[in-house]
């Protein structure tokens, strides 16, 4: 049903909702709150903490004043609590406050507390009488994810209306719900939006997380079943050139790489089609293994394709492969296909791919577009596979006649979970870093360390090295605090010597511009690259030795570990500087985990321990599997139950009615991807 059917939603508002991914009234039901606001007991001024929403009870001690700053009207109120300690409250562009609040009023003020020049200020507090506040205490108010133009109230109103008109279908069979103690669909969807208390929320959440995993596993199993019976139509034997190529790499493959390569070789020459996951920490050298497989397909006179999540990465893989082909005088034609190419360039590529002249094809999502017809596709590699959905993986395979597939991932998840999450795949693990890598030197510091960091970067650049600096946001915004890429780059250029070229990169730039900047960085025309996390995935510039992350507290540890993986890729000692922008101790403690270890798996499990399993709203463990609610590490038990439930169904060990069965397989895989 269209959103416009709802009261208060016209065309303009509909567009705003669409930007948040809500296209229909049904979508509203699964637009889950990010967290819930609870009204806690008011505290004394001396117990307030900065950067949190809190309530204080106090008396307004002076007449309310209004001041003007540029075109802003600012209302100030001075409040004193029962111990005589004071705090200032401030409202912007709300001059009417002066008429509603007066000296002598005793009220509860609830708002975001921040520190300003050594004292606390409470921003735009809402005011309540004691009785009003008492009523609110303990209630959980949903706080929704927002985009610009969308307010929490707009979402709340829309969701409430949606509940009047549409309902959620039950897609977990009764026998399964009973067996695993799961709530029904209708109650859980209601209670995830409007839980009366923490217990309600937990019960609802458990069911919905189960459902996400359950649907995902059902889809995977269906895929596996399909793949298992497939006969190998592309027998790829080791070409005679391969030994020489391996000898000529300029480095020796690690044992783990060799073992993985043997497993792949065995698969692609056997009588069943290959479906294999290559799991290995950042920097473990997954690319070269994939490249060997692609070359093998090409030298067998068939085609191999590799899909990467970003153009930058696709182009980089393309350059690497071209190098190897050139160095070994191979008569092969590699082709790149990415979105930012001109129509003419694309047509040229399509033609080479279709005629079979192209032996190796590297690209982004562009590889799975309708217009691309492969001549003889024998192998499909998906790099950083978590960035793609299971469906996309499938689509590219369908472009060929049952090609071999290989997916690569750096997700550090335990093997028991990997077997569930990649249920349709065999797994190879590269658990060894190339020899001679110096461990990365880490430090976790406050913002006051910046001058030292800049000096250090300057010295590294003088020695010929390069640096990344990561900021959480693209440009300045009042809504989000934290460093932003554009201004930071400007400020930094002024601090560093003019001979050092500082530039920036972010996800909102046009793909062509991103490629240019990334190439310029790879060629050392840019020495310091200030960027958002777009560099997080896979990029390889071995000459970069410094990774500095501003507002590191904003990122998940797994993500920071990925960022760190951008350095330490060459022979030079590399350094990672994590800046804790809040100065808060718990943030530092979390970041210290990175300091102690360079092992992705250890980091993920320590992060989990520190936060405890009850922390649903913190930073996600494994951004890799973007379920709406569930997190495979935090909710590992639910995940295992969901897998068990699917087993029960497949083995006919539970009763399922015809109707339930139809409902089971009706739902598309709901996994969302970035
Ligand atoms: P990831 O597993 O994160 O995708 P890459 O494949 O990008 O890692 O490899 C990281 C770097 O290590 C690249 O510069 C690559 O050339 C290099 N490399 C890969 N294997 C080896 C090896 N056995 N010895 C030395 N360097 C290697
Ligand atoms: Mg990689």
Q: Which two tokens stand for residue 426?
A: 């065999």
Q: Is the CB of 285 under 6 A from ligand 1?
A: yes
Per-residue model confidence as pLDDT tens digits over 409-453: 877 677 778 788 877 788 898 988 888 788 899 999 999 999 999
pLDDT over 70 at 637, yes or no = yes
The rounded Å distance from CA 286 to ligand 1 centre is: 7
pLDDT over 70 at 72, yes or no = yes
Q: Comparing 66-75, 161-170, 542-551, 662-671, which segment has the lowest mean pLDDT?
A: 662-671
Q: How far apart are CA 216 and CA 227, in angstroms?
A: 17
pLDDT band (50, 70, 90) for residue 621: very low
Average pLDDT over residues 592-617: 71
The pTM assigned to this predicted structure is 0.70
The packing angle between helices 198-228 and 390-398, to 10°, is 20
The 3-state DSSP class for residue 5 equals: helix
User: What pLDDT does 387 receive?
Assistant: 67
User: What pLDDT does 622 receive?
Assistant: 44
Q: Comparing 235-249, 302-316, 573-587, 607-621, which segment has the lowest mean pLDDT?
A: 607-621
pLDDT over 50 at 362, yes or no = yes
Q: What is the CA radius of gyration of the chain?
A: 28
Average pLDDT over residues 225-244: 88
User: What pLDDT does 583 receive?
Assistant: 74
- Considering Cα of 65, then 89, then 554, then 144, what sign does the dihedral take? negative
Nearest atom, ligand 1, residue 430 CA: 2
Which pairing describes strands 65-69 and 119-128: parallel, antiparallel, or unpaired? unpaired
pLDDT over 70 at 674, yes or no = no
Average pLDDT over residues 149-161: 94
User: What pLDDT does 500 receive?
Assistant: 96
Q: How many helices (H) and strands (E) does the chain have?
A: 23, 21
The rounded Å distance from CA 538 to ligand 2 centre is: 4
pLDDT over 60 at 183, yes or no = yes
Average pLDDT over residues 4-19: 92
Q: How far apart are CA 168 and CA 566, in angstroms?
A: 44
Higher pLDDT, residue 614 or 410:
410
pLDDT over 50 at 504, yes or no = yes
User: Can you spell out the DSSP letters for 211-253?
Assistant: HHHHHHHHHHHHHHHHHHT-B-S---PPPTTHHHHHHTSSSPP
User: What pLDDT does 415 receive?
Assistant: 73
Average pLDDT over residues 585-611: 78
Token pair 């694309």 is at which residue?
Answer: 346
The rounded Å distance from CA 409 to ligand 2 centre is: 8
Average pLDDT over residues 1-16: 92
The rounded Å distance from CA 175 to ligand 1 centre is: 49
pLDDT band (50, 70, 90) for residue 554: confident
pLDDT over 50 at 671, yes or no = no
Q: Is the CB of 249 under 6 A from ligand 1?
A: no
User: What pLDDT does 623 receive?
Assistant: 46
**Protein residue whose Cα sits closest to atom 19 of ligand 1:** 285
User: What pLDDT does 618 receive?
Assistant: 47
**Protein residue whose Cα sits closest to atom 9 of ligand 1:** 285
User: What pLDDT does 667 receive?
Assistant: 56
Kindly list the protein residues that place their beta carbon closer than 5 angstroms to ligand 2, a single-atom ion. 538
- Count of Cβ atoms closer than 10 Å to residue 153 Cβ: 9
The rounded Å distance from CA 280 to ligand 1 centre is: 11
Q: Which two tokens stand for residue 470?
A: 């990561």
**Protein residue whose Cα sits closest to atom 4 of ligand 1:** 286
pLDDT over 90 at 390, yes or no = no
Question: Which burial class, exposed, middle or buried, applies to 646 when counting CB atoms under 10 A from its CB (0-12, 13-18, 19+)?
Answer: buried
**Protein residue whose Cα sits closest to atom 12 of ligand 1:** 285
Cα–Cα distances in angstroms (integers) from residue 188 to residues 173, 197, 201, 294, 419, in the given order? 15, 13, 8, 47, 29
SS (H, E, C) 122-159: EEEEEEECHHHHHHHECCEEEECCCCCCCCHHHHHHHH
User: What pLDDT does 409 receive?
Assistant: 85
Least Cα distance to 268 among 379, 383, 394, 392 occurs for 379
pLDDT band (50, 70, 90) for residue 619: very low
**Protein residue whose Cα sits closest to atom 16 of ligand 1:** 285
Per-residue model confidence as pLDDT tens digits over 509-519: 887 888 889 88
């Amino acid at each position: 049903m269209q959103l416009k059917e709802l009261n208060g939603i016209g065309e303009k508002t509909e567009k705003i909702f669409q930007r948040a991914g809500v296209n229909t009234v049904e979508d509203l039901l699964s637009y889950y709150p990010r967290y819930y606001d609870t009204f806690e007991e008011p505290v004394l001024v001396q117990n307030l903490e900065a950067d949190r929403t809190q309530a204080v009870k106090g008396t307004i001690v002076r007449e309310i004043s209004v001041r003007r700053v540029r075109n802003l009207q600012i209302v100030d109120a001075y409040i004193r609590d029962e111990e005589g300690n004071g705090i200032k409250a401030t409202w912007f562009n709300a001059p009417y406050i002066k008429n509603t609040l007066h000296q002598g009023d005793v009220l509860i003020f609830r708002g975001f507390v921040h520190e300003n020049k050594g004292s606390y200020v409470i921003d735009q507090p809402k005011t309540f009488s004691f009785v009003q506040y008492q009523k609110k205490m303990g209630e959980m108010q949903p706080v929704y994810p927002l985009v610009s133009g969308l307010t929490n109230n707009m979402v709340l109103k829309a969701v409430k209306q949606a509940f009047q008109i549409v309902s959620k279908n039950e897609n977990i069979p009764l026998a399964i719900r009973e067996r695993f103690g799961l709530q029904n669909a209708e109650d859980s969807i209601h209670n995830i939006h409007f839980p009366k208390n923490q217990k309600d929320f937990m019960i609802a959440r458990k069911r919905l997380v189960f459902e996400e995993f359950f649907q995902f596993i059902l889809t995977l199993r269906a895929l596996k079943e399909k793949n298992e019976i497939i006969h190998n139509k592309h027998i790829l034997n080791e070409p005679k050139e391969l030994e020489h190529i391996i000898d000529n790499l300029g480095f020796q493959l690690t044992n783990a790489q060799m073992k993985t390569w043997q497993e792949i070789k065995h698969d692609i020459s056997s009588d069943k089609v290959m479906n294999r996951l290559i799991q290995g920490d950042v920097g473990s050298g997954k690319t070269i293994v994939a490249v060997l497989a692609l070359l093998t397909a090409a030298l067998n006179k068939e085609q191999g394709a590799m899909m990467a999540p970003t153009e930058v990465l696709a182009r980089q893989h393309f350059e690497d492969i071209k190098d190897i082909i050139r160095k070994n005088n191979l008569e092969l034609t590699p082709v790149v296909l990415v979105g930012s190419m001109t129509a003419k360039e694309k047509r040229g590529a399509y033609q080479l791919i279709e005629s079979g002249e192209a032996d190796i094809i590297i690209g982004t999502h562009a590889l799975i577009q309708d217009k691309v017809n492969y001549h003889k596709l024998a192998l499909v590699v998906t790099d950083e596979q978590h960035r793609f959905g299971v469906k996309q993986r499938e689509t590219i395979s369908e472009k060929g006649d049952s090609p071999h597939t290989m997916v690569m991932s750096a997700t550090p998840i335990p093997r028991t979970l990997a077997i569930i999450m990649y249920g349709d795949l065999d797994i190879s693990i590269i658990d060894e870093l190339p020899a001679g890598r110096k461990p990365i030197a880490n430090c976790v510091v406050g913002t006051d360390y910046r001058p030292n960091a800049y000096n250090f970067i300057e010295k590294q650049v003088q020695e010929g090295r390069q640096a990344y600096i990561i900021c959480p946001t693209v440009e300045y915004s009042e809504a989000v605090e934290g460093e932003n890429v554009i201004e930071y780059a400007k400020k930094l250029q002024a601090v560093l010597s003019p001979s050092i070229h500082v530039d920036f990169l972010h996800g909102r730039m046009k793909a062509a511009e991103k490629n240019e900047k990334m190439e310029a960085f790879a060629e050392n025309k840019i020495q310091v690259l200030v960027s958002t996390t777009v560099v997080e995935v896979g990029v390889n510039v071995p000459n970069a030795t410094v990774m500095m992350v501003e507002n590191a507290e904003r990122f998940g540890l797994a993500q920071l570990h990925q960022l760190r993986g951008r350095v330490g890729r060459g022979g030079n000692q590399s350094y990672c500087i994590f800046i804790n922008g809040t100065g808060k101790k718990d943030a530092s403690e979390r970041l210290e985990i990175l300091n102690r270890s360079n092992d992705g798996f250890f980091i993920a499990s320590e992060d989990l321990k520190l936060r405890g399993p009850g922390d649903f709203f913190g930073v996600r463990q494994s951004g890799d599997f973007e379920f709406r609610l569930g997190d495979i590490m935090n909710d590992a038990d639910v995940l295992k139950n969901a897998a068990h439930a699917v087993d029960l169904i497949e083995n006919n060990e539970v009763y399922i009615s015809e109707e339930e069965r139809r409902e089971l397989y009706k739902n598309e895989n709901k996994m969302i991807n970035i």
